[in-house]
């Protein structure tokens, strides 16, 4: 199980090296005291992608490590931070978008990045 955390951390550290310099940032209000759940992460990241102009019917979340089923890569130090990888139909790469989330108080900041 420890390799799972190691791979997640490694991906989180390496992904920014392959990100374009431009990104879209969205802020959403959420209930006070709620921990950022996988369901909330999926809903808010998809909403941000749709708000950025993508057609929601052609995108889907993909696991953050091969052979896994977890879609929300939660930060192991701060459980209210993480990312979700999204793919769009017809794209031949592992993922098309890396969407980061950070929850603070009653707000979640979502940042969409598209790999080079």
Tell me the Ramachandran region of residue 7: left when phi exceeds 0, alpha when psi lies from -120 to 50, beta otherwise.
alpha
Report how many domains make up the chain.
1
Pairing of strands 107-115, 19-29: antiparallel
Q: Residue-wise pLDDT tens for the chain (116 aa)? A: 565 555 565 555 555 544 444 578 999 999 887 788 999 999 999 999 999 999 999 999 999 988 889 999 999 999 999 999 999 998 888 899 999 999 998 899 999 998 87
Domain span at 82: 2-115
Tell me the pTM.
Answer: 0.79
CB atoms within 10 A of CB 98: 24
């Amino acid at each position: 199980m420890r390799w799972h955390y190691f791979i997640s951390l490694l991906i989180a550290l390496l992904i920014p090296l392959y990100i374009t310099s431009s990104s879209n940032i969205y802020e959403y209000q959420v209930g006070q005291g709620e921990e950022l759940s996988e369901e909330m992460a999926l809903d808010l990241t998809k909403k941000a992608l749709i708000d950025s102009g993508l057609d929601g019917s052609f995108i889907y979340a993909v696991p953050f490590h091969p052979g896994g089923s977890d879609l929300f890569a939660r930060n192991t130090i701060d459980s209210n931070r993480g990312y979700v990888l999204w793919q769009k139909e017809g794209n031949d790469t592992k993922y098309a978008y890396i969407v980061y989330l950070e929850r603070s108080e009653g707000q979640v900041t979502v940042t969409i990045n598209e790999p080079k």
